[in-house]
Chains A and B, each alone.
Chain A
Amino acid sequence: MIGKIAWKNMWFKPLNTVLSIVLLTASVAIISLLILLQKQFEKQFSSNIEGVDLVIGAKGSPLQLILSSVYQMDAPTGNINYGKAKVWMKHPFVKTAIPLAFGDNYRGFKIVGTTEDYLKKYDAKIESGTLFVKNFEVVVGSEVAQKLNLKLGDTFLSSHGDAEAGEVHEEHPYVVKGIASATGKVIDNLILSNIESVWAMHHHEEEAATTEEHHHEEVHNHDEVHNHDEDHEITAVLIKFKNKMGFVLWPRLIAQNTDMQAASPAIEINRLFSLFGIGLVALQYLAYGIMLISGISIFIALYNTLKERKYEFALMRVSGASRLQLLLLVLFESILLCIVGFIFGTLIGRLGLYYISTSTEADYKMSFNPFEIAFKEEGILFLITIFVGIIAALLPALKAYRLNISKTLSHA
């Protein structure tokens, strides 16, 4: 009954109520969005670096190297010589070394030249069909197959580089030989071929490029003629060590002795998190600021109506209500507001995440799950919201508790 009165009172002054709820909703939405975003972002990032201790690639920004080779989110730093990379790939410290060669894309999905190990690293199985064996045979990731509606035996023409609208290579159509199982990792959004396919496509390009300007060479960082296998180029190598000493020694060794670099995904991703961690913290402060304002707005609304409502309170006392019941009534009204605000906030936060997810999906092939519930973090957020409600209502509730009925009624 107290709850019902509180609920009815809440909607008796809808403007005050709506203002408080809108503010609460905004702050809860921002915070829950940040909670989910951060949690899923970190999970996605760390799940993809499993099994990669070090990445070898062309000199440049180590973060860029990691983002491009592990997450397929950035342009590659350049190419490295396959022969020189092989020296390290065959080192006794190494357990597995997966070469990656980027070249073309098909409707925005990257075609990556690699080996079977790449599929194994992501625990991806060939769900139907077979692995690529010959040149221009590909295995497509589950998302790619689904989105582009690719089936076994389908053929397609690739476009050059990262851009969907790049120059189309008409000479060598790719043929879909296999479809990989879904893993929830970047591989779902890739088209995989053997490395030789990329080289073969490349070789053609070279010939064409000589007649045009040499802009391809800049992009691919060519400086040698491609006669021997050893002179071919790849983009990066993902290394997993047998001997963890390599993890410590190699970055320096490689940087000093070769024109390549070795970067640790774990370190770079930590750096990335701490970089935009500052932004997240700032946003979080902003959201808590809004929550403070909504607390003040609840306080003002309750306090202002107290003057007109003191007759109601006196009347309830006359009808047999105890002081405590009045205290609870006022607290309840505030807490109800907070619960409504929290529910709206978490829903709108998820709606926001859904929209962010659709855009990151399109731009980075990375999606977020808006239906996840972060029990611990959101539980804490719920308690904070309720706490704000209690604090805001404390003074008005105490005033109701200490109301002098006789005085109130004689001044009526």
Chain B
Amino acid sequence: MIQTKNLLFQYNEKTQFKFPDLQCNAGETLLITGMSGTGKTTLLHLLGGLLQPTSGEIFINEKNICTLSSKKLDHFRGQNIGLILQKAHFISALTVAENIELASWLTNKTKKKEKTKELLSFLGLESFASKLPNQLSVGQQQRVSIARALINEPKLLLADEPTSSLDDVNTKIVGDLLAELSQKYKAALIIVTHDQRLKERFKNAVAL
């Protein structure tokens, strides 16, 4: 599902990151661990098409995303990649449901209202659908961002330190949800983390 070859990213002459080749198939989970400053987030941004690598190739669904134009990449990202960030950000003026629907509208010009409801109820958040994101707790916000990442049924789910600001209970909930949902939607799940709690939960790990 996702495969990288000879990935290299150079910030400047002194700092450059050379990444090991990765592969992660549909329904599998890959943990990327490492100390801070080893380029974990950089790798995630490369995989998500937010950064262009200096050299090397990234194949998602057999497609080399490094060769896509900016506009095509935006569309590809919306369609195939779900991103969950360390801190959940939302359009604060829109409700929880609208935030999720927006993600589907931006890629497909359709609002998947039913799907949004389904995802929210799966995540136990149906009663928060018409609340503003700021009215939710941090753990709830992180779950909403999982729903948003999944609304377009992406082939690849990327999570950047998704549990770093969560307590143990919420970490377990989020970890379980991620595993369960990536299985359900047949997505490759890549989690970048230094969280010991996740390392215990997911065994398939690559250290940078």
Contacts and interface: CB of A to CB of B under 8 A. Distances in A.
Interface string B61-87: 000000000110011011100010111
A92 interface: no
A316 B106 contact: yes
B71 A409 contact: no
Interface in A367-412: 405-406, 409-410, 412
Contacts, number: 77
A52 B78 CA distance: 75
A355 interface: no
Interface stretch (A3-11, A74-82, A185-193): A3-11
Nearest to A318: B83
A321 B78 contact: yes
A319 B84 CA distance: 10
A215 to B, nearest CB: 73
A312 interface: yes
Interface stretch (B19-27, B43-51, B117-125): B43-51
A410 B106 contact: no
B102 A318 contact: no
B207 interface: no
B50 to A, nearest CB: 4
A311 B74 contact: no
Nearest to A314: B89
A164 B119 CA distance: 79
Interface string B83-106: 101110111111000100011011
A359 interface: no
B186 to A, nearest CB: 20
A322 B71 contact: yes
A409 B85 contact: yes
Nearest to B100: A319
A12 interface: yes
A319 B90 CA distance: 11
B3 interface: no
Contacts of A323: 70-71, 74
A1 interface: yes
A405 B70 CA distance: 12
Contacts of A311: 89
Q: How large is the interface on A (under 10, 10 to 19, 20 to 34, 35 or more residues)?
A: 20 to 34
A406 B45 contact: yes
Q: Is the interface of A mostly helix, strand, loop or mixed?
A: helix
B38 interface: no
Contacts of A314: 89
Interface in B18-62: 41-42, 45, 48, 50-51
Interface residues of B, number: 33
A244 B100 CA distance: 79
A16 interface: no
Contacts of B93: 5, 8-9, 11-12
Contact of B102 (A316, A317, A324, A410): A316
B105 A312 contact: no
Contacts of A1: 102, 105, 111
A316 B102 CA distance: 8
A321 B106 contact: yes
Interface in A127-142: none
A19 interface: no
Given A1-B105, A406-B50, A412 B89 contact: yes
A28 B92 CA distance: 31
B194 interface: no
A315 interface: yes
Given A5-B102, A12-B93, A316-B106, 20 more contacts: A1-B111, A8-B91, A312-B91, A314-B89, A316-B91, A317-B77, A318-B48, A318-B50, A319-B78, A319-B102, A319-B107, A319-B148, A322-B75, A323-B74, A324-B71, A406-B45, A406-B51, A410-B42, A412-B85, A412-B87
23 contacts: A5-B94, A8-B93, A8-B98, A311-B89, A312-B90, A312-B92, A314-B89, A316-B91, A318-B77, A318-B83, A319-B148, A320-B107, A321-B78, A322-B74, A322-B75, A323-B70, A325-B106, A406-B45, A406-B51, A410-B42, A412-B85, A412-B86, A412-B87
